[in-house]
Structure 1
Amino acid sequence: MTVAPPPPAPSRRTRLRPVDLLRLGLLGPRTRRTRSALSALGICLGIAAVIAVTGISSSNQAHLLARLDRLGSNLITVSPGKDIDQRLVPLPATAERMLANIAPVERVTATGATKAEVYRNALVPREQTGSISVLAARLNLLDVLHASLLSGTWLDPASENLPVTVLGDQAAERLGVTAPGERVWLGEQSYEVAGIVAANELAPELRTAALVGWPQASAHLGADGTAATVYLRSHPERVPDVQAVAAATANPAAPGKVAVSRPSDLLTARGEAKGALTGLVLALAAVALLVGGVGIANTMVVGVMERRGEIGLRRALGARSGQIAAQFLLEAVLMGFVGGLAGLAAGALTVYAYALAQGWPASIPAYTLVAGPVVSVLVAALAGIHPATRAARASPTEALRSA
């Protein structure tokens, strides 16, 4: 009786534990450190650019909002508009009082135009005005604008009737005035400088102005008593409502010839312009990421060509194509992950250093901290798909023959 031979034992498929796969994935970066570091550097620069741009923009925005919060974003300005011939149409003499009667308006102040010029002394040629305007000012001007003085004092009920002026910081610099108590030649008369006003973002026109009391300007400097600019402080929730009726209230006969603006809107537009610039730099950062991905793909392709003998030997010993592909894909992902972390650190240090130098609060959007490494890993994974597939398809015999 013939005994049939036992059936052949089923072949055991080799399996790699995650730890073993990780060790294999680290093999390439450890043996080819310079090339791997340069490939990861491309990803690092792209992520650092993204973090730095978004962080610096966010820090600038935080600084701007903090200043607006201190100044108040509920300021509205009303000034003369232009007629069909592009000539300024003065506000009526009742405009300031009528605007103060709008229910949500909390405080009102104004400046008025004069016919005077100001010089350092009487010997300065009359054409050298320094582009400094002489304005009549209400006593509550600084309070309503939340402005401050660099030095000296503001006008009071006594000095507003006397030849006393307060200069904006740029006006003082152009006139060569360094401290209160000095004198300037204003309206063919010597005026004492009582103080110097600090820069104010919401009323930049005051920086190049010489401010005098309203009664003094009307009596001696040719002011006609009408307001050149009226400043309103409105209830924060009612600012749009006040803006809508301010023109008709200031000049009911010709509301179309009244200019109404909100300085904080100009600052918002400035932020939007910065946002457009940020978009451009982000596009450049995307190009840097693409270049980094190409660098990783190039490194992986060259690595596959250089390690064909290793690939053939592993295939001959039973490694499956999926394991080979996973090894090379993991190498690419590790380079992307390391580059992403390095870029995150470099970008964050750049943001904090720049914010510290500018005196801004450092702010990095939380989503960029998460998105940076994630994007770098995705870019590296996409870059490593083709080399990993190529390595997995390599024939064991051809690979060993070329070794």
Structure 2
Amino acid sequence: MTVTEVARPKLSPARMRPRDVMRVGAVGLRTRPLRAFLSALGIAIGIAAMVSVVGLSSSSGAELDRTLSALGTNLLTVSSGTTLMGEAAQMPKDAEAMIERIGPVQAVSSIGRVGDAKVYRSEEIPEAQTGGMSTYAARLDLPATVGATLRSGTWLNAATERYPAAVLGSSAARRLGVGSVGPDTQVVIGGVRFAVVGVMNPVALATELDSAVLVGWPVAESRLGFDGHPTTLYTRSEESKLEAVRQVLAGTANPEAPNEVDVSRPSDALAAKQATSQAFANLLLGVGAVALLVGGVGVANTMVISVLERRAEIGLRRSLGATRGQVRTQFLAESLLLSALGGGGGILLGTGVTMGYALYSGWPSVVPAWATVGGLAATLAIGAAAGLYPAVRASRLSPTEALSTP
């Protein structure tokens, strides 16, 4: 009887389902939790830095847009410049009336500096300690034109503008130690006692008013020696014709010497400030990227050490039939899980920092979706790059070599 050999079918290794890959990849994280936490922390710091920088920059931009929407971008400022000899120029007394004749101009107001009127809290303050404050004569419609609001008290009116009554800018009030208006709150301006009737909030589009003490135009002329010449004029114009108005303002305010008049758009200064903040944000993003790179190096270091420490485990798995691809997938999955944990924590931390700071500053909280998605994508890319070499190295170990290693 002829004995025939029956060929046994070649068994193919069992395929690992995604759930199995995740479970096997998490083994190293569960057995070495402290090391895994410290490695993930490096990734988390880098991602948190990037998300918070982007979030704070976006929140700041949203606050600027909200401010400009509330205050308007159609404010133009006309101020006295300098003469050809370098001396301070002077605008005509009727400059405000002439600007009002420009068709698209919707509102005009002005202030005039009272040069010799120094401001003190009382007569006992030494003359040299002026506190950097200036006295200005102001028109009654100034708050409506520049978008100013009062923190305490009231603005000047047709009655108080003729008497020793003053309104303090926000910085001026702080320097004078005036927190709120009271019946006995007074300051000394040019040797004359003035009752403080109001304290303003900071004026975003006219920051020069923050350190100013404002009095009525008539009382400034009668009691403080004001010459009646405006120093700065504020105009509101139709948005569509703003540039056309800007071109004729200097010649209208001072027809005899338009070159001695400076015309500016305060909202441009805010936009420039935002651009500067954006440049600084880009610098911080670079710092965040460096932190992320350092975190990636930490993950790679952890994975290499993990391969060296777990040679016996690798050899045992290979002896039981695991393929090189499965071993490689195990360690690559472990690296991705480690990075994903750090990335998720970093996104939560960065979002929390953004929301906390925005709430503290009174800004709208904005975290762009692309920042979180990009942060997670960067995390996975770092994890794949950091775990690739250790995974390939682990898969190349032969069962006998791995099991013979003490």
In the aligned structure 1, how far is the partner of 2:140 from the partner of 2:318? Answer: 90
Mapping of residues 345-384 of structure 1, within 5 Å: 345-384=348-387
Structure 1 SS opposite 2:117: coil
- Give the aligned residue type for 1:17: M
Structure 2 SS opposite 1:233: strand
User: What percent identity do the matched residue pairs reach?
Assistant: 46
In the aligned structure 1, how far is the partner of 2:316 from the partner of 2:168? Answer: 85
Structure 2 SS opposite 1:211: strand
Q: State whether residues 180 and 195 of structure 1, in contact with CA within 8 Å, keep that contact through their aligned partners in structure 2.
A: no
Instruction: Work out which of the residue numbers 240, 243, 247 in structure 2 matches 1:240.
Output: 243
Deviation at 1:43, TM superposition (A): 0.8
Name the residue aligned to 2:319: 316
Name the residue aligned to 1:152: 153
Name the residue aligned to 1:200: 203
In the aligned structure 1, how far is the partner of 2:227 from the partner of 2:26? Answer: 83
Deviation at 1:271, TM superposition (A): 1.7
From the superposition, tell whether residues 242 and 13 of structure 1 become closer, same or farther in structure 2 (CA, over 3 Å). Answer: farther
In the aligned structure 2, how far is the partner of 1:337 from the partner of 1:124? Answer: 64
Q: State whether residues 56 and 355 of structure 1, in contact with CA within 8 Å, keep that contact through their aligned partners in structure 2.
A: yes
Q: State whether residues 22 and 330 of structure 1, in contact with CA within 8 Å, keep that contact through their aligned partners in structure 2.
A: yes
Name the residue aligned to 2:76: 76
Mapping of residues 175-254 of structure 1, within 5 Å: 175-177=176-178, 179-181=181-183, 182-254=185-257
Could you list the per-position Cα deviations for residues 150-194 of structure 1 after superposition, in whole angstroms to 9, with x for gaps in the alignment? 333322223323333323233344445553544443344333333
Mapping of residues 277-356 of structure 1, within 5 Å: 277-356=280-359
Deviation at 1:200, TM superposition (A): 1.4
Query: What is the root-mean-square deviation in Å for CA atoms of aligned residues?
Result: 2.5
In the aligned structure 2, how far is the partner of 1:211 from the partner of 1:252? Answer: 28
Deviation at 1:24, TM superposition (A): 1.8
Q: TM-score, normalised by structure 2?
A: 0.90
Mapping of residues 28-177 of structure 1, within 5 Å: 28-114=28-114, 115-122=116-123, 124-177=125-178
In the aligned structure 2, how far is the partner of 1:289 from the partner of 1:121? Answer: 58
Higher mean displacement: 209-218 or 291-300 = 209-218
In the aligned structure 1, how far is the partner of 2:176 from the partner of 2:41? Answer: 54
Deviation at 1:299, TM superposition (A): 1.2
Q: How many positions carry a matched residue from both structures?
A: 402
- Give the aligned residue type for 1:13: S
Deviation at 1:121, TM superposition (A): 4.2
Higher mean displacement: 334-343 or 164-173 = 164-173
- Give the aligned residue type for 1:148: T
Q: State whether residues 52 and 347 of structure 1, in contact with CA within 8 Å, keep that contact through their aligned partners in structure 2.
A: yes
From the superposition, tell whether residues 161 and 311 of structure 1 become closer, same or farther in structure 2 (CA, over 3 Å). Answer: same
- Give the aligned residue type for 2:287: L
- Give the aligned residue type for 1:179: V
In the aligned structure 1, how far is the partner of 2:326 from the partner of 2:159? Answer: 91
In the aligned structure 2, how far is the partner of 1:369 from the partner of 1:335? Answer: 18
Higher mean displacement: 167-176 or 210-219 = 167-176
Higher mean displacement: 8-17 or 380-389 = 8-17
Structure 2 SS opposite 1:210: strand
Deviation at 1:245, TM superposition (A): 3.3
Higher mean displacement: 307-316 or 324-333 = 307-316
Could you list the per-position Cα deviations for residues 16-64 of structure 1 after superposition, in whole angstroms to 9, with x for gaps in the alignment? 2323222221222122222222211111111112222222333333333
In the aligned structure 2, how far is the partner of 1:401 from the partner of 1:176? Answer: 81
From the superposition, tell whether residues 8 and 238 of structure 1 become closer, same or farther in structure 2 (CA, over 3 Å). Answer: farther
Deviation at 1:253, TM superposition (A): 4.0
Structure 1 stretches lacking a partner, 5+ long: none
From the superposition, tell whether residues 223 and 347 of structure 1 become closer, same or farther in structure 2 (CA, over 3 Å). Answer: same
- Give the aligned residue type for 1:29: L
- Give the aligned residue type for 2:325: G
From the superposition, tell whether residues 196 and 310 of structure 1 become closer, same or farther in structure 2 (CA, over 3 Å). Answer: closer
In the aligned structure 1, how far is the partner of 2:369 from the partner of 2:302? Answer: 32
Name the residue aligned to 2:21: 21
Q: TM-score, normalised by structure 1?
A: 0.90
In the aligned structure 2, how far is the partner of 1:116 from the partner of 1:38? Answer: 64
In the aligned structure 2, how far is the partner of 1:239 from the partner of 1:402? Answer: 81
